[in-house]
């Protein structure tokens, strides 16, 4: 098979050879010419501008100056030798320092001669210096492809040892771009290129690596960002189309006794407008004859579980079984307790299946699932084990999507000839842009309204030295019958450190809240499930007033009587996590409080997080902020998806481009879903190629 230019293995590039090729594969996953070309600079430095030395105020970036060497001196001996050349441009002085290659460098330098110096200056003893600057004599500038704007590439120590630092990588790019076979086929249609006035693909690749000027660089970046986001969308939308047209869904036409009974006799409150709207949206999916894939988003306590429960009852009313999968045993347990509580008296057969379900019980459940008598199964990952088989599973509800790999979602579907409807609930609000990129193939429902009567949680930031006041407040609240959470951060690097942190905290709390007046529960990740459950139970039953815990209580656990959440070392938590934790209180009707304890030492970013928490309870706003602060790579669940390994686009900054890409992809798929029209051939060809290279993308949906 003739490989195209872009598919040529990287070792065939002049100057690369086997050793470097090996390193490129290992360190940067660059296997082919195409992958090298898609290894974009992470930064550019304008080398057309020459600064005056007096203009250099900060030492955070690279500068280029032009000056004359006034002094050359060397100091130290042997391995600690140092060469210093002082340069001036009449506005100030800079010391240029070399620790290596001294003999060679000193041969290049002479006093009284003019140089262009480029590097990252720093201040030392009131003097500016640049270690290992780049030097050129003014006559050398500018050369052919060493353009005015210089690209910088990420590299690694291993690569550098093989001569592949940023400059080395740039040299490889140059070799590639100047190769006589160099050609990059266009992968967007004439129509798109014309309508959006995008730069051609080949031109874009040349200019991303060797931009001729700023405007051209911007156009090149715009084009490649669009291309990247567009293909993600095109793919997701095509999959969505194929699925909805190929996958038949069970039809749930009716509402029967279960739902009616529950709604009229067991539900003690009115549904919120948002809940009603969402139920309507879901019901229309369930009647459509196509399989539902819907993401239900809503802030903590917005009533998602209740919505899910009602949908589950509709499944039962139509003669199907249903299951609900939770990410942890505690949560599965709690769902089981609440749901069996809410449904008691309706005569529905339900069971809990987790890792700790006994063998005999398991067997019994499996039998009842197969003969169809088991109607609702609630559990953890245990639900998707090989031997869990339903007679007619109609609906799967997944709580807290983030904790599950997408692969698991797929496995659930595989069990039936007609795939069950899937409703995914998440309390972690996903910023719009991220959701669009990540779950572009799902339908969305959003509960954007809290049940009436909830008072917004009051959040305060308290510095460590004022702990006594916090404890006093806790005493007062407990005196009024409330319960209190005190949460310690998980220190990922060391589980023992975690525990110590928690234990010390526990001791402090115990001293401040002595028995027998106070009783304290503790839950952490290293306890056995049974112990955890026991402690949680004690807290739930109000036998204890204070729950000291690590973040294991983060998701879902519902203790309506808890009105105070104290978060220790709050600066250590991410925004979304803080918000999740705060959501554990304020679930009853009482005024709830969240207290963020920190030391005085806060980074600017930590300060922003704390201020954001104090100023708002809006989960979507917080999620957006989180995305801005941390970038998508750190958001829970996004790493595994792989889809966020964006090479050039940025989900936060390029929201506008993403929207264009989304709209255009939508129009194309609507008009030509499987891309069989001639004008779209270029698109389908490129998609096929992507599929070939990125097999694992398939897991995403």
Q: Which residues bind Mg ion (CB under 5 A)?
A: 305, 556
Q: How far is the CB of 342 from ligand ADP (least distance, A)?
A: 8
Q: How far is the CB of 556 from Mg ion (least distance, A)?
A: 5
Q: Which residues inside 532-571 make contact with ligand ADP, applying CB under 6 A? A: 558
336: closest CA among 550, 556, 534, 521? 556
Q: Which long-range contacts (CB under 8 A, 24 or more apart) does 676-681 make?
A: 679/189, 679/190, 679/191, 680/189
Choosing from 41, 67, 151, 301, the residue that interacts with ligand ADP (CB under 6 A) is 301
Q: How far is the CB of 309 from ligand ADP (least distance, A)?
A: 8
- Rounded alpha-carbon distances, angstroms, from residue 423 to 235, 242, 264, 398: 22, 19, 24, 6
Contact status, residue 204 vs residue 639, Cβ threshold 8 Å? no
Q: Taking CB within 5 to 8 Å according to partner kind, which of Mg ion, ligand ADP, none is near residue 641? A: none
Q: How far is the CB of 294 from Mg ion (least distance, A)?
A: 16
Choosing from 532, 587, 662, 686, the residue that interacts with ligand ADP (CB under 6 A) is 587
Nearer to ligand ADP, 275 or 328 (CB): 275
State yes or no: residue 505 binds ligand ADP (CB under 6 A). Answer: no
Q: How far is the CB of 573 from Mg ion (least distance, A)?
A: 20
Cα 107–chain centre separation: 51
370: closest CA among 378, 381, 362? 362
Q: How far apart are the first and last CA of the chain?
A: 31
Q: How far is the CB of 274 from ligand ADP (least distance, A)?
A: 9
What is the distance between the alpha carbons of residues 324 and 306, in angstroms, rounded to a whole number? 12
State yes or no: residue 305 binds ligand ADP (CB under 6 A). Answer: yes
Q: Taking CB within 5 to 8 Å according to partner kind, which of Mg ion, ligand ADP, none is near residue 586? A: none
41: closest CA among 216, 205, 227? 205
Q: Point out which span in 231-239, 297-305, 311-319, 648-656 binds ligand ADP (CB under 6 A).
A: 297-305
State yes or no: residue 327 binds ligand ADP (CB under 6 A). Answer: no
Q: Taking CB within 5 to 8 Å according to partner kind, which of ligand ADP, Mg ion, none is near residue 451? A: ligand ADP
632: closest CA among 434, 355, 411? 434
The structure tokens listed for 323 are 């299951």
Q: How far is the CB of 307 from ligand ADP (least distance, A)?
A: 7
Q: Point out which span in 51-59, 182-190, 246-254, 295-303 binds ligand ADP (CB under 6 A).
A: 295-303
State yes or no: residue 302 binds ligand ADP (CB under 6 A). Answer: yes
E strand segments, 287-347: 293-298, 321-325
Q: Taking CB within 5 to 8 Å according to partner kind, which of ligand ADP, Mg ion, none is near residue 303? A: ligand ADP
Nearer to ligand ADP, 147 or 261 (CB): 261
Q: How far is the CB of 481 from ligand ADP (least distance, A)?
A: 18
What is the distance between the alpha carbons of residues 390 and 343, in angstroms, rounded to a whole number? 21
Secondary structure (DSSP) of 69-124: EEEEEEES-GGG-EEEEEEE-SS-EEEEEESSSHHHHHHH--TT-EEEEEE--EEE
Secondary structure (DSSP) of 423-471: EEEESSPPPHHHHHHHSTTSEEEEE--PPTTPPPPEEEEEEGGGHHHHH
Q: Which residues contact 614 (CB under 8 A, 6 or more apart)?
A: 459, 460, 461, 596
State yes or no: residue 375 binds ligand ADP (CB under 6 A). Answer: no
Nearer to ligand ADP, 293 or 305 (CB): 305
* β 376-379/134-136 pair status: unpaired
What is the distance between the alpha carbons of residues 326 and 334, in angstroms, rounded to a whole number? 10
Nearer to ligand ADP, 76 or 589 (CB): 589
Q: How far is the CB of 335 from Mg ion (least distance, A)?
A: 8
Indicate the SS3 state at residue 57: coil
Q: Point out which span in 108-116, 250-258, 293-301, 627-635 binds ligand ADP (CB under 6 A).
A: 293-301
Q: How far is the CB of 574 from ligand ADP (least distance, A)?
A: 20
What is the distance between the alpha carbons of residues 43 and 153, in angstroms, rounded to a whole number? 7
Q: How far is the CB of 325 from ligand ADP (least distance, A)?
A: 14
State yes or no: residue 306 binds ligand ADP (CB under 6 A). Answer: yes
Q: How far is the CB of 427 from ligand ADP (least distance, A)?
A: 6
DSSP designation for 386: T
Nearer to Mg ion, 431 or 556 (CB): 556
Nearer to ligand ADP, 184 or 555 (CB): 555
Q: Which residue has the tokens 């739902």?
A: 259
Nearer to Mg ion, 379 or 556 (CB): 556
652: closest CA among 633, 628, 635? 628
Q: How far is the CB of 583 from ligand ADP (least distance, A)?
A: 7
State yes or no: residue 303 binds ligand ADP (CB under 6 A). Answer: yes
Q: Taking CB within 5 to 8 Å according to partner kind, which of ligand ADP, Mg ion, none is near residue 302? A: ligand ADP
Q: Point out which span in 40-48, 91-99, 302-310, 527-535 binds ligand ADP (CB under 6 A).
A: 302-310
What is the distance between the alpha carbons of residues 592 and 413, in angstroms, rounded to a whole number? 41
What is the distance between the alpha carbons of residues 237 and 443, in angstroms, rounded to a whole number? 11
Q: Taking CB within 5 to 8 Å according to partner kind, which of ligand ADP, Mg ion, none is near residue 34? A: none
Q: How far is the CB of 176 from ligand ADP (least distance, A)?
A: 53
Q: Taking CB within 5 to 8 Å according to partner kind, which of Mg ion, ligand ADP, none is near residue 278? A: none
Q: Taking CB within 5 to 8 Å according to partner kind, which of ligand ADP, Mg ion, none is near residue 587? A: ligand ADP
State yes or no: residue 300 binds ligand ADP (CB under 6 A). Answer: yes
Contact status, residue 233 vs residue 662, Cβ threshold 8 Å? yes
Contact string 259-278 vs ligand ADP (x = CB under 6 A): ----------x-xx--x---
Residue number of the CB closest to ligand ADP reads: 303
Number of residues that bind ligand ADP (CB under 6 A): 16
State yes or no: residue 451 binds ligand ADP (CB under 6 A). Answer: yes
State yes or no: residue 304 binds ligand ADP (CB under 6 A). Answer: yes
Q: Which residues contact 696 (CB under 8 A, 6 or more apart)?
A: 642
Nearer to ligand ADP, 112 or 452 (CB): 452
The sign of the torsion formed by the CA atoms of 158, 79, 60, 52 equals: negative
What is the distance between the alpha carbons of residues 585 and 563, in angstroms, rounded to a whole number? 5
DSSP designation for 16: T
What is the distance between the alpha carbons of residues 288 and 291, in angstroms, rounded to a whole number? 8
Q: Contact positions toward ligand ADP, by CB under 6 A?
A: 269, 271-272, 275, 298, 300-306, 427, 451, 558, 587
């Amino acid at each position: 098979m003739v490989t195209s230019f872009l598919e040529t293995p990287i070792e065939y590039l002049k100057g690369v050879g086997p050793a470097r090729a090996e390193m490129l594969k290992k360190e940067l996953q660059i296997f082919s010419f195409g992958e090298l070309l898609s290894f974009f600079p992470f930064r550019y430095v304008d080398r057309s501008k020459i600064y005056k030395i007096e203009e250099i105020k900060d030492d955070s970036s690279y500068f280029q100056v032009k000056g004359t060497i006034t002094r050359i001196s060397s100091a130290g001996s042997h391995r600690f030798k140092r060469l210093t050349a002082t340069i001036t441009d009449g506005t100030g002085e800079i010391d240029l320092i070399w620790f290596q290659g001294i003999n060679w460098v000193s041969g290049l330098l002479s006093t009284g001669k003019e140089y262009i110096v480029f590097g990252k200056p720093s201040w030392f003893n009131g003097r500016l210096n640049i270690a290992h600057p780049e030097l050129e004599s003014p006559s050398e500038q500018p050369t052919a492809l060493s353009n005015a704007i210089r690209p910088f590439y990420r590299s690694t120590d291993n690569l550098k040892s093989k001569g592949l630092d940023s400059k080395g990588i740039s040299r490889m790019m140059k070799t590639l771009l100047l190769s006589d076979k160099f050609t990059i086929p266009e992968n967007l249609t004439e129509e798109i290129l014309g309508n959006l006035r995008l730069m051609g693909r080949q031109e874009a690749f040349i200019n991303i690596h060797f931009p001729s000027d700023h405007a051209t660089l911007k156009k090149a970046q715009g084009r490649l960002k669009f291309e990247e986001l567009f293909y993600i969308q095109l793919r997701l939308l095509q999959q969505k189309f194929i699925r909805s047209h190929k996958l038949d869904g069970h039809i749930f036409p009716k509402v029967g006794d279960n739902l009616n009974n529950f709604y009229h006799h067991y539900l003690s409150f009115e549904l919120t407008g948002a809940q009603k709207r969402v139920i309507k949206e879901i019901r229309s999916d369930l009647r459509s004859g196509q399989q539902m894939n819907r993401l239900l988003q809503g802030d903590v306590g917005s009533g998602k579980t209740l919505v899910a429960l009602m949908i589950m009852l509709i499944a039962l009313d139509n003669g199907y079984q249903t299951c609900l999968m939770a990410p942890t045993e505690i949560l599965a347990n709690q769902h089981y307790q609440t749901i069996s509580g809410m449904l008691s008296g309706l005569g529905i057969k339900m069971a809990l299946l987790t890792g700790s379900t006994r063998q005999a019980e398991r067997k019994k459940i499996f039998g009842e699932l197969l003969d169809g008598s088991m109607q609702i199964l609630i559990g953890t990952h245990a639900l998707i084990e090989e031997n869990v088989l339903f007679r007619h599973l109609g609906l799967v509800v997944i709580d807290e999507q983030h904790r599950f790999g997408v692969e698991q979602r797929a496995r659930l579907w595989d069990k039936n000839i007609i795939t069950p409807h899937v409703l995914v609930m998440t309390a972690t609000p996903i910023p719009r842009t991220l959701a669009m990129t990540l779950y572009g193939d799902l339908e969305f429902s959003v509960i954007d309204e809290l049940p009436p009567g909830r008072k917004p949680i009051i959040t305060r930031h308290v510095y460590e030295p004022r702990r006594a006041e916090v404890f006093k407040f806790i005493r007062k609240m407990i005196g009024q019958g409330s319960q209190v959470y005190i949460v310690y951060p998980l220190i990922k690097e060391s589980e023992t450190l975690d525990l110590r942190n928690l234990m010390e905290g526990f001791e402090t709390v115990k001293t401040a809240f002595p028995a027998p007046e106070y009783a304290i529960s503790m839950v952490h990740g290293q306890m056995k499930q049974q112990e955890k459950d026991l402690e949680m139970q004690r807290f739930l039953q109000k036998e204890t007033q204070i729950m000291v815990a690590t973040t294991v209580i983060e998701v879902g656990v519902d203790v309506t009587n808890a009105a105070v959440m104290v978060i220790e070392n709050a600066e250590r938590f991410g925004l979304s996590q803080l918000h999740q934790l705060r959501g554990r209180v304020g679930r009853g009707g009482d005024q709830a409080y969240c207290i963020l304890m920190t030391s005085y030492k806060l980074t600017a970013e930590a300060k922003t997080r704390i201020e954001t928490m104090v100023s708002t309870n809006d989960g979507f706003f917080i999620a957006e902020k989180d995305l801005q602060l941390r970038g998508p790579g750190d958001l829970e669940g996004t790493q595994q998806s792989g889809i966020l390994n964006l090479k050039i686009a940025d989900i936060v900054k390029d929201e506008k481009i993403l929207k264009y890409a989304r709209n255009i992809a939508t129009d194309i798929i609507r008009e030509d879903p499987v891309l069989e029209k001639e004008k779209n051939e270029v698109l389908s060809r490129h998609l096929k190629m992507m599929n070939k290279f990125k097999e694992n993308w398939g897991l995403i949906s």
